């Protein structure tokens, strides 16, 4: 009964609505942003590349921004993050008179998004009943999936049937983020953390930082190079990627709660090991499917790898639950998750640059052979994960 009461507490309900609102809003942005860029700006290849700087730079800077806002408690920081993202969406929709100005608004929105990434996990785990953190994270991600699918359908139906334009889409998304901010603002206030703690690197969390490095590289392989295989090797249209993302989103509604349950039942080490083992096979599938199978079968194998890859990204919640278990003090959880975002982006940007050069010089197979090698390192590293036994008096 205690678990049920916690799951239906006022703060948990408000936060669940906030997660769904933010996911809905993000989906409206993802569904329209590339079309907005194409229709609004005559972008060169150089400008399209430059666009990634304001999109990803906040991920590198998030630990510093978080420290500057240390006078805010984590929940009020989450409010600020969602307000920034919502404001950025409004500004993009209404005041993007030039490409350069649009980049400024995009930077503001991206700062908010990256601030909120670690807060989602830390606040959710704070609200979760003891021993149920994986289940709670899985359920919240599943609700986010449902809301994200709803956002995509609203955009699709709005543009096809209701005469939406880009401003309408950005307004809907901006309102979604502001709704998330309002929901979190209605939660009970918690305690601000000292600014100095936001910058602290602890030797005790060295393995967590290392797993974050590996996660950043695997994530970028999925985001950048996996769809590029479908587009350039198999010559699939944009609609194919959208369909595969939709399929993965629907499966994720059921997969993510199950994965959260698996984390609680079997532990993070088991999940890390399983994820790394599957990633080895997935990377080999990307690398060699076009050589080993007939064209239609090769496409099916690669598409299957893409869907499974998409689902496995959610295994990142095991890193969050493991960090909570090994944290020396509860205050370390949020700052270490935030530090992880910055570390993640350093290496994800690096692997994107290195992978691009490797693809050009040696082909796509070489990129994913390297990816398989990273997955092997991840598998070995997972075997060092330990969860300390509960100590009397330690929460």
Q: What's the confidence (pLDDT) of residue 7?
A: 56
Please write down the HEC assignment for all residues of 216-265.
HHHHHHHHHHHHHHHHHHCCCCHHHHHHHHHHHHHHHHHHHHHHHHHHHH
Long-range contacts of 201-210 (CB under 8 A, 24+ apart): 201/339, 202/328, 202/332, 202/336, 204/326, 204/328, 205/323, 205/326, 205/332, 205/336, 207/381, 207/384, 207/385, 208/319, 208/322, 208/323, 208/326, 208/336, 208/340, 209/339, 209/340, 209/343, 210/381
pLDDT band at 265 (very low <50, low <70, confident <90, very high): very high
Is 1-198's fold the same as 200-390's?
A: yes
Per-residue pLDDT tens digits for 23-55: 999 988 887 887 787 778 876 545 655 676 777
Q: What's the confidence (pLDDT) of residue 49?
A: 54
Domain residue limits, the chain: 1-198, 200-390
Q: What's the confidence (pLDDT) of residue 394?
A: 44
Per-residue pLDDT tens digits for 226-240: 888 888 888 887 668
Per-residue pLDDT tens digits for 346-358: 888 788 778 888 8
Lowest mean pLDDT of 65-79, 140-154, 232-246, 367-381, name the range: 232-246
Range 1-198 has CATH code 1.20.1250.20:
yes
The arithmetic mean of pLDDT across residues 2-15, rounded, is 71
Range 200-390 has CATH code 1.20.1250.20:
yes
pLDDT band at 10 (very low <50, low <70, confident <90, very high): confident
Q: What's the confidence (pLDDT) of residue 392?
A: 44
């Amino acid at each position: 009964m205690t678990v049920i009461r916690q799951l239906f507490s006022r703060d948990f309900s408000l936060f669940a609505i906030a997660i769904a609102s933010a996911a809905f809003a993000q989906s409206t942005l993802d569904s329209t942003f590339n079309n907005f860029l194409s229709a609004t700006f005559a972008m060169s290849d150089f400008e399209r590349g430059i666009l990634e700087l304001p999109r990803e730079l906040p991920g590198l800077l998030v630990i510093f921004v978080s420290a500057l806002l240390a006078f805010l408690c984590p929940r009020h920081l989450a409010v600020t993050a969602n307000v920034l993202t919502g404001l950025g969406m409004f500004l993009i929709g209404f005041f993007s008179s030039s490409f350069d100005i649009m980049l400024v608004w995009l930077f503001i929105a991206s700062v908010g998004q990256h601030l909120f990434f670690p807060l989602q996990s830390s606040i959710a785990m704070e609200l979760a009943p003891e021993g149920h953190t994986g289940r709670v994270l899985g359920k919240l991600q599943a609700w986010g999936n449902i809301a994200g699918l709803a956002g995509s359908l609203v955009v699709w139906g709005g543009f096809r049937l209701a005469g939406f334009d880009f401003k309408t889409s950005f307004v809907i998304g901006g309102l979604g983020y502001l709704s998330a901010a309002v929901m979190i603002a209605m939660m009970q206030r918690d305690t601000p953390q000292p600014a100095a703690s936001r910058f602290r690197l602890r030797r005790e969390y060295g393995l967590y930082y290392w797993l974050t490095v590996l996660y950043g590289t695997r994530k970028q392989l999925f985001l950048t190079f996996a769809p590029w295989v479908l587009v350039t090797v198999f010559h699939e249209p944009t609609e194919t990627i959208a369909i595969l993302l939709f399929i993965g989103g629907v499966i994720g509604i059921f997969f993510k709660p199950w994965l959260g349950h698996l984390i609680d039942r079997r532990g993070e080490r088991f999940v890390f090991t399983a994820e790394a083992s599957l990633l080895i096979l997935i990377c080999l599938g990307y690398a060699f499917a076009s050589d080993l199978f007939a064209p239609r079968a090769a496409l099916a194998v690669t598409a299957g790898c893409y869907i499974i890859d998409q689902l496995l990204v959610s295994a990142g919640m095991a890193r969050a639950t493991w960090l909570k278990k090994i944290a020396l003090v509860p205050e370390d959880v949020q700052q270490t998750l935030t530090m992880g975002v910055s570390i993640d982006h350093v290496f994800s940007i690096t692997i994107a640059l290195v992978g691009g050069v490797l693809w050009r010089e040696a082909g796509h197979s070489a990129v994913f052979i390297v990816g398989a090698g990273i997955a092997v390192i991840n598998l070995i590293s997972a075997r060092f994960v330990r969860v300390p036994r509960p100590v009397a008096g330690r929460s």
